[in-house]
Amino acid sequence: MQVKRFFAADMRQAMKLVRDELGADASIIGNRRVAGGVELTAALDYQIPAAPLRQPNPALEAELRKTQSRIASAQAELTTREQTDAGKDRQLFGAEPAMPADSLAAVLRNNPPAPAAATDQHALDAMRFELHGLRELIEVQLGSIAWGQLQSRRPQQANLWRRLQRMGLSAELSRSLLERVAKIAEPRQAWRMLLAHLAHAIQTPQQEPLEDGGVIALVGPAGMGKTTTLAKLAARYVLKYGAQNIALVSMDSYRIGAQEQLKTLGRILNVPVTLVDPGQSLTQALAPLARKRVVLIDTAGLPASDPALHMQLETLASRGVKAKNYLVLAATSQSQVLKAAYHSYKRCGLSGCILTKLDEATSLGEVLGLAIGQRLPVAYQTDGPRIPDDLQVPRSHQLVSRAVGLQTAEDPSEDTMAEMFAGLYQHPARRAG
């Protein structure tokens, strides 16, 4: 029997190391928390004890026994402490003879009391880690089993799963789309209908925001392309309607040169620019611009933990401003970055999103998945540096066609598909996080 230890940042990475080195037949015989991640002990040709009625998974059985033992120990410790505390109470109230003072002092010297709270917390933390590891282990194994069964029983569905993963779509969205075409037997028709459902799920405005007019604010983290997008919007409006009924406002006094960029744009377009400093009332700054048909606001891309961001979003959400806030999302960003941006900026009330840097993206599945999942209409898309030529009003079928064109050439690995299926077994709170 070959036994080896593996170290990784989390359970899934550790499981992948085990599969890569020892193969799918390896058994997990232990796991524990270590500095920087987890340690798995895996064995090849592990002899599972014979069972008359069933053959349990050795890894799960071992984890359950360890967890059960910890729970029993913790319960016994708590019971003992409760009994000890009850005995002390009876002594204090005279139910039993009190121990002589010198004897009590000797006992305390020889047996100093343990810090109960610290002991309890340590035991709970250890137990919580064991349960977390067991849950991840179960998720990974269930994902592998589910993916294997799908390939053998429904190969057409498995092929569609692969194609959606090549586009970068999430497991939840993929499952929702596949449920809609589950009864279509012909592969090409199923794929066409699936893409049609995907396009239908992408919301686009019936009329572009510039046509509706009003106060339009662009929000989002730094680097998403807010200022460049605002310049394209302003130039688009000026070319169509002239410079008389549009104004620009900058709330970004944090980034060096941000307001200078907007002032330069204003001079080029012959459009007035208002600079709002921190602490200044945005409502008062907008008052002289009340007769303008369109007011475009450039905001600061601040970290989620910055108190100034909270103040900025509260200002934009106020009734006095009446702003339509659009979240600017770069298609080059990773899925976790996009999710974090949405959760940070949703508090101001989002009217939709603007997708930028499509020309630099290698996948559109992540950003389209967020827009669909959070029901954010896609108001505009940008795909280049030219002002305003590289700004378009999107069409959902064109976005889907572009996403298909950007899909990777190679199918995802079996490990990737198994991990994706494992994600379907996670608790909803963990998937959302």
Residue 356 reports pLDDT greater than 90: yes
> Residue 259: which CATH number?
3.40.50.300
R_g of the chain computed on alpha carbons = 30
Average of per-residue pLDDT across 387-406 = 91
Token readout for 203 is 């919301």
Residue 274 lies in a domain: yes
Which position has the higher pLDDT, 358 or 115? 358
Q: How confident is the model at residue 65 (pLDDT cuts 50, 70, 90)?
A: low
Residue 385 lies in a domain: yes
**Least confident among 153-157, 322-326, 349-353:** 153-157
* Predicted confidence (pLDDT) per residue in 115-130, tens digit: 555 567 777 777 777 6
Average of per-residue pLDDT across 99-117 = 54
pLDDT of residue 47: 58
Structural domain of residue 375, as residue ranges?
Answer: 209-408
Residue 257 lies in a domain: yes
Q: How confident is the model at residue 52 (pLDDT cuts 50, 70, 90)?
A: very low
Q: Is 194 exposed, middle or buried (0-12, 13-18, 19+ CB in 10 A)?
A: buried
* Three-point CA angle 249, 247, 390, nearest 5°: 90
Which position has the higher pLDDT, 41 or 275? 275
SS3 content of the chain, % helix, strand, coil (to 5): 55, 15, 30
**C-alpha–C-alpha distance, residues 24 and 6, integer Å:** 15
Average of per-residue pLDDT across 346-350 = 90
**Least confident among 74-78, 182-186, 191-195, 418-422:** 74-78
Whether residue 52 has a cis bond before it, omega within 30° of 0 = no
* Predicted confidence (pLDDT) per residue in 5-50, tens digit: 888 877 777 777 877 787 766 677 677 777 777 787 877 765 555 4
Residue 97 lies in a domain: no
Average of per-residue pLDDT across 76-87 = 58
**C-alpha–C-alpha distance, residues 252 and 360, integer Å:** 26
Taking a C-beta distance cutoff of 8 angstroms, is the pair 140, 422 a contact?
Answer: yes
Per the structure, the count of domains in the chain is 1
Question: Is residue 404 classed as helix, strand or coil in its secondary structure?
Answer: helix
The DSSP 8-state label assigned to residue 346 in this structure reads G
Dihedrals φ, ψ of 259, to 5°?
-70, -30
Residue 426 lies in a domain: no
Residue 199 reports pLDDT greater than 80: yes
pLDDT of residue 397: 93
CB-side neighbour CA atoms (13 Å) of 431: 16
Residue 388 lies in a domain: yes
Average of per-residue pLDDT across 202-214 = 90
**Least confident among 76-80, 177-181, 301-305:** 76-80
Token readout for 138 is 């179960």
Which position has the higher pLDDT, 148 or 287? 287
Share of the chain above pLDDT 90, in %: 26
Q: Within 10 A of 48 (CB to CB), how many other CB atoms are there?
A: 11
* Three-point CA angle 220, 221, 225, nearest 5°: 75
pLDDT of residue 204: 92
Question: Is residue 253 classed as helix, strand or coil in its secondary structure?
Answer: coil
Q: Within 10 A of 170 (CB to CB), how many other CB atoms are there?
A: 21
Taking a C-beta distance cutoff of 8 angstroms, is the pair 67, 29 a contact?
Answer: no
**C-alpha–C-alpha distance, residues 271 and 321, integer Å:** 20
Which position has the higher pLDDT, 187 or 326? 326
Residue 269 lies in a domain: yes
* 116-153 vs 11-22: helix crossing angle, rounded to 10: 50
Mean pLDDT value across the chain: 78
**C-alpha–C-alpha distance, residues 103 and 388, integer Å:** 89
pTM here is 0.68
pLDDT of residue 80: 60
Residue 370 reports pLDDT greater than 90: yes
pLDDT of residue 192: 92
Q: Position of tokens 């799918």?
A: 24
Residue 432 lies in a domain: no
* Predicted confidence (pLDDT) per residue in 225-261, tens digit: 899 999 999 999 999 888 899 999 988 876 666 678 8
Give the CA diameter of the chain. 97
Our measurement of the distance from residue 165's CA atom to the centroid of its chain's CA atoms, rounded to an integer in Å, reads 17
* Predicted confidence (pLDDT) per residue in 404-422, tens digit: 998 887 777 666 776 666 6
**C-alpha–C-alpha distance, residues 6 and 11, integer Å:** 10
Residue 289 reports pLDDT greater than 50: yes
Dihedrals φ, ψ of 166, to 5°?
-65, -25
Non-local (6+) Cβ contacts of 407 within 8 A are 163, 166, 167, 168, 363, 365
